[in-house]
Chain A
Amino acid sequence: MKKVIALILALAMVLSISAVALADEKPVKLSIMKSADDSVYDPVNNPALAKILEVNNIELELHMVDDITQSVNLAMASGELCDIIASPKLTVMEYMSSGYVLPLNDLLDQYGQDLKARIPEAVWEFVTLGGDIYAIPQENKNYKWPTAIRMDWVEKLGYEKKTEYTVSELKQILIDMATKDPDGNGENDTYGMNAYGGGWKNTNIAIYGAFNGIPDQNYLSEDGYIYSYNTSDDFRAALTYLNELWTAGAIDPEFFVASEDQATQKAANGKIGYFTSWWNGVKVLCENGFADLNPDAWYDVIYVTSDDGKTQGVLDNGRVSNSTFITTTCKNPEAAMKFLNYLATDEGYELFQYGWEGLHFEYNEDGTTTSIYQLNKDYLPLTGLVKWQSAGGLAPLKEDASRAQQMIWPFENTQHILGLPVYQDLFYGLPTTQEALEYATEVSNYVTSKVVEFVTGATPINDETWAAYKTDWAAKGGMKVLESYAKQYNELNKSEYPCK
């Protein structure tokens, strides 16, 4: 009898040890929610993905959503969230009151050494509140708006080929582009600029920058008050400048009414000479046939300054592109943090960012990479989880690059212009206020309508009309929005700057 009991106990011990061992070997299930892209999650056919899962001993359930804000809100309402969520920009700060965002300090100290080493301390500040770090910020490249000019036209019109032009020089060039038939077809069908690049705000970013700011941003003046660029004298000067261009015919009359496709078609047909756009602006034109239709055309990167050469800058895209957070419903936050940290190691970064060497990419001599996989098979489903700006680098220009590729390359290789000034909104990173939710849309629509009137000359720009504009802007809620953000800013920074 005693022998039987001993045998049973021994068997029970062996079975329990086996169960523990098996439990340790079982992969941890993690669910991730991120914005949808073109990629496909296929660990069976993607050795890079399979290796990531194997090294971290995890099974991933990937949720790709088109409207991440809506999806996160719905998930929070239902109480069932994914373990890891990559939310856009700094929206994580708006989720903190929900109780679903896990503070990461301890996890980062124990398992996040590579993440802490890669991402600069200043960037971590954006996701820190009261000393607690709530997300892993993805460092963004803050200069992404190069300015392009048809340098073949500039030279044909007799101007000096430079990389920097003052606003006065630029004005004359743009007017001549519209009036002196630079394409030589005998027709008066060219313009200095049209809406290609993103309409009145984005196409003219470099011009606004030369007039000391960017529309919709807010700044702290040297006198110690907070103001909106939209009601500043600098903005008035910029609009006056644009009105002069409009009156001289340098701006396409369809500037304010053309659709994005129409503007792109006109630009691709070679009818405009200047724009500021997202860094792939010239590439998009070439894909729409620009290089084929205009074989002698050439766009160069330029910079625009004030006449005294002291003021220039473009739009800052913000230091944080995404913020990845771990939710409080995650059953294994340690595994989640280890996985995210692995993506910041050399091995992990190569696998999730580039794929499998020899199959998806190959290294160039200078350490940059060239994709060798078919373009239509997107194999990077984990893009957007972690990122820092010192990683990677654009592949060098090939010797046999086409004319179009040679033209495009400087615009994509924004590394060489990272040192230029950018204008950053004073309130960057602050949660949206109730006043902004209530009034921002109407204020924005009002500003747009007044810009159209001022630039086209429907309403002349003088002291009286400008004062009326500012009064109406405040009445429609502009000042309420400004004051609500200023209050948050002052509370956070323990300051007392008034608004003006």
Chain B
Amino acid sequence: MVTAKKKVRKLRRVEMFDVINLTLLTLICLSMFYPFLNLLFVSISAQSEVTAANGLLLYPKKIQLEAYKYVFSYNNIWRAYQNTIFTTIVGTILSLLLTCMGGYSLSKKGMPGRTVMTNFVLITMFISGGLIPTYLTMRDYKLLNSLWVLILPGCVSAWNLFLARNFFMGIPEDLKEACYIDGGNEVQTMLRIVLPLSMPIIATLTLFYGLGYWNQYSSAIIYNTRQEYHVLQVVVRRMYSSSMSDLLTPEELELQRTPPTEVVRAATVMFTTAPVLAIYPFLQKHFAQGVMVGSLKG
């Protein structure tokens, strides 16, 4: 009887703990999720409703898609989207290829000049060429006003190279030696043994590089001045901050678009982050593992 009562009490404590725990975690999740949800609600609401609520909506009272219509029909937006998709896909593939190859090479303990090369890469993490020398270099390579200027210069990030190197160093040598014994060379070892075991780091690098290319802005405005090479962030930023210009008279502004309201700005943000949000769940499984494993080794 006493034992049964104790068990019931213990069960009730556990249940109480679960309830409190779940409640707290739910509140924390909501506090993190709500800003995004609010952004979504704002983007599908009328501006007067958003203003009356001082920008915070629990739910949209009346759904309106005018802001999205504005965004979808903005000049050059689809060309910019196309450019961004191109640079993201091509850039990510190229970056992954070169980073994995570079990381694998630097992870080989017996490689001649490994220390020198590692230090050389390390230096580039702290010192860069500067804006003007870099610009002149891009000009000399005839990369200005092209999509390749957004891909090639930043193709291999030193930081990501070290992440990959450290991950590859963590793969047991025995597995690689088994491949050598079976007659495999370095390329085959990398392709058949190392890379299949490296999904976490590949997923991580895919996310890092992909986001980097997707969010490119400063390089885009420096190197590409022609409209046909503008990328999404450039056009979005222009949409976001358009028209408050002292260059324009009222007559001129009459002919151009009105300032973007909060609703339009929210729609703009949703428009640019939707693809990233769509892809992230597929990479999440590998991402968490990859970040930790790649960072621990010296």
* Chain B associates with chain A: yes
| Pair A78/B139 contact, Cβ less than 8 Å | yes
- Among A62-70, A334-342, A444-452, the one that faces the other chain is A62-70
User: Which residues 320-376 in A have Cβ within 8 Å of B in the complex?
Assistant: 321-322, 353-355, 361, 368-369, 371, 375-376
Cβ of A94 within 8 Å of any chain B Cβ, yes or no, is no
Tell me whether A74 and B76 are in contact (CB under 8 A). no
Known: A284-B259, A376-B75. A74 touches B226 (CB 8 A): no
- In this assembly, does A426 line the interface, its C-beta being within 8 Å of a C-beta of chain B? no
Give the one of B54, B135, B251, B262 with max A CB within 10 A: B251
Q: Are B253 and A280 in contact (CB under 8 A)?
A: yes
From B132, B225, B251, B254, contact of A77 by CB (8 A): B132
Question: Given that A80-B139, A376-B73 are known contacts, is A288 also in contact with B261, CB under 8 Å in the complex?
Answer: yes
B249–A141 contact, CB under 8 A? Answer: yes
Using A37-B256, A278-B244 as known contacts, say yes or no to A289 and B52 having CB atoms under 8 A apart.
Answer: yes
CB closest chain-B residue, reference A413: B250
Chain B residue nearest in CB terms to A289? B48
State whether the Cβ of B46 lies closer than 8 Å to any Cβ in chain A: yes
Asked if B60 is an interface residue, CB under 8 A from chain A, the answer is: no
- Which residues of B are interface residues toward A (Cβ below 8 A)? 46-52, 54-55, 70, 73-76, 131-132, 135-136, 139, 221-222, 225-227, 234, 237-239, 242-259, 261-262
Given contacts A40-B75, A65-B225, 16 further A-B contacts (CB under 8 A): A38-B239, A40-B76, A64-B225, A64-B227, A71-B221, A74-B131, A77-B136, A80-B139, A141-B249, A261-B55, A265-B51, A265-B55, A269-B51, A289-B46, A321-B247, A371-B255
Q: Chain A's nearest CB lies how many Å from the CB of B22?
A: 35
Are B251 and A392 in contact, with the CB atoms below 8 A? Answer: yes
- Chain A residue contacts of B49, Cβ below 8 A: 289
State A40–B75 Cα separation when bound (angstroms).
6
What's the Cα separation between A84 and B55 when bound, in Å? 44
Q: Is A254 close to B, CB under 8 A?
A: no
Residue of B nearest to A414 (CB): B250
A378 touches B246 (CB 8 A): no
Question: A322, A376, A384, A414: which has the most chain B beta carbons within 10 Å?
Answer: A376
Q: Which residues on the B side are within 8 Å of A467 (C-beta)?
A: none
Q: How many chain A residues touch B (Cβ–Cβ < 8 Å)?
A: 67
Q: Is the CB of B250 within 8 A of A77?
A: no
Q: Which of A33, A38, A284 lies at the interface centre, i.e. has the most chain B CB atoms within 10 A of its CB? A: A38
Task: Say whether B75 contacts A377, CB under 8 Å.
Answer: yes
B48 adjacent to A292 (CB under 8 Å): yes
Q: How far is the CA of A35 from the CA of B245 in the complex (A)?
A: 11
**Contact B243 A38, beta carbon cutoff 8 Å:** yes
Judged by a CB distance under 8 angstroms, whether A224 is at the interface is: no
Closest chain A residue to B249, Cβ basis = A141
Q: How far is the CB of B236 from chain A (nearest CB, A)?
A: 12
Say yes or no: is A317 at the interface (Cβ < 8 Å to chain B). yes
**Residue with the highest number of chain A CB atoms closer than 10 Å, among B47, B48, B132:** B48
Please report the C-alpha to C-alpha distance between residue A140 and residue B262 in the assembled complex, in whole angstroms.
30
Write out, one digit per residue, whether chain A residues 170-212 have a CB within 8 A of any chain B CB (1) or not (0). Answer: 0000000000000000000000000000000000000000000
Residues on B with C-beta less than 8 A from A77 are 132, 135-136
Q: What is the minimal beta-carbon distance from B74 to any residue of chain A, in angstroms?
A: 7
Does A383 touch B at the CB level, under 8 Å? yes
Task: Write out the residue numbers on chain B whose beta carbons fall within 8 Å of the beta carbon of A394.
Answer: 250-251, 254
Query: Assuming the A-B contacts A289-B47, A289-B48, A322-B247, are A74 and B132 also in contact, with contact meaning beta carbons closer than 8 angstroms in the complex?
Result: yes
Given A289-B52, A371-B254, verify A280-B74 contact (CB < 8 Å): no
Chain B residues within 8 Å of A412, by CB: 250, 254
Across the interface, which residues of A come within 8 angstroms of B245, CB to CB? 37
Bound complex: CA A279 to CA B249 (Å): 9
Residue of A nearest to B264 (CB): A287
Interface string of A456-482 (1 = CB under 8 A from B): 000000000000000000000000000
Chain B residues with CB under 8 A of A164: none
Q: Which A residues from 257 to 312 make CB contacts under 8 A with B?
A: 261-262, 265, 268-269, 278-280, 283-284, 287-290, 292-293
17 pairs, CB–CB < 8 Å, chain A vs chain B = A38-B256, A40-B76, A41-B227, A62-B226, A71-B225, A77-B132, A78-B139, A278-B244, A280-B250, A280-B259, A288-B262, A292-B48, A317-B246, A368-B251, A378-B256, A383-B248, A413-B250
